[in-house]
Amino acid sequence: MPELGVRSALYQMALLFGALFMSQAVLARPLVVLAYGDSLTAGYQLPPGQGFAPQLEKALKAKGRDVTVVGAGVSGDTSTQGRARVNWVLSGMKQKPDLVVLELGANDMLRGQPPKTARANLDAMVKAFKAKGARVLVAGMRANPTLGKAYVTEFETMFPAVAKANGVSLYPFFLDGVAAQPGLQLADGMHPNGKGVQVMVKRILPAVERELALIK
């Protein structure tokens, strides 16, 4: 009978170690960051590895983070187009994102579309990502002053408003440090070059790290 007790104890220990191993394996999985946006996240006209997603992943790994950054930027997308593909993108991911960097609205502004439309779209996207359990970092944008004070104010205030309404974080200006800096832009004067993306990543990195630190 003592032998049965020993075997039972060994069996229970095996189950315990197995459970511990499995829980550690789950905890050890790489976190997934989804960079969701337009040409600014798509790496427009940049060589492989120079876009926002690969440079952000490289910077995070250099900080010792086990993370995969998935690029889901589509050049030319407005917030309406971005909203339309949210479910399609999420359904195609093997692992759901832990954090989404949401960068859309610039093309709405360039086309003079109503900020209230972009605001509704951003709000819907934030809610969709949160429903999948992801944290969201809303990346803001600035408007061209030639559109008029009223438009500029409505456009630029929608990003903090959406973030606040949904209880998520805000990164005020995605092109911080790069806008109006010719040496950090492509010839079109709008999109960042490889060095420009490096500056963007350096500026946004602390905000991304703060979000990742809050993931349980």
Q: In the annotation, is 77 catalytic?
A: no
To the query of whether residue 38 is one of the catalytic residues in this protein, the response is no
177: left (phi over 0), alpha (psi -120 to 50) or beta: left
Is residue 23 among the annotated active site residues?
A: no
**Backbone phi, then psi, for 181, in 5-degree steps?**
-120, 90
- Residue 90 three-state SS: helix
Catalytic-labelled residue, pool 8, 23, 39, 91: 39
Say if CB 66 and CB 27 are below 8 A apart. Answer: no
Q: How far is CA 100 from CA 35, 46, 56, 182, in A?
A: 6, 22, 13, 29
Q: Which of 38, 77, 98, 191 is catalytic?
A: 191
- Residue whose entry in the numeric block shows the structure tokens 């703060």: 210
Residues with catalytic function: 39, 188, 191
